[in-house]
Amino acid sequence: MNVAYTIGRILIPLLFIVSGVQKALSVGAIAQMLADLSVPIPEAVLPLLHGFPPYEALGYIIAAIEIICGLMVLVGLKARWGALVLVVFTACTIIFVHHFWDMAGDAIMLNVTEALKVERGRPCDRPKFDTPRGRNLGSGSVSTQTPPNRVTEN
């Protein structure tokens, strides 16, 4: 039991830290994805940005949350608070990015898998999925087909 706890306490925060660093290195791609998804940004926040593009600011905030809270959990500095922030962050990501409840066909399962999986990657590594509202999730070419490296069940 202690071995599994230790491994989880190291590996799960590392997933967030690595994902946060990748987002920090590609803020433009994150900002474009957030803008394409029309993620809401409160009007009261815009004057505080002093002309800084709002979706880029949100991209930096997202990267900072993943890195800082991942480090908090990893080193044990207010780990429960860091974990709570990561849980809320993950829930918001599912709500604002992975709209699998609005989709049909194969896009549902692909987005549910993407929303609930532990392994995380850069947004530009993810396929796009069409939604009934005409929005695309992820980046890359528009496709609802199963990628060649995935196995489908018959």
Residue-wise pLDDT for 94-125, tens only, equals: 888 877 777 778 877 877 777 666 444 444 44
pLDDT digits (tens, 9 = 90+) for 29-52: 999 999 998 888 889 989 999 989
Is this prediction's pTM over 0.85?
no
Query: Tokens standing for 22?
Result: 């990748």
Q: What was the pLDDT predicted at 145?
A: 47
Phi, psi at residue 121, to the nearest 5°?
-140, 180
Q: What 8-state DSSP symbol labels residue 138?
A: S
CB 130 within 8 A of CB 104: no
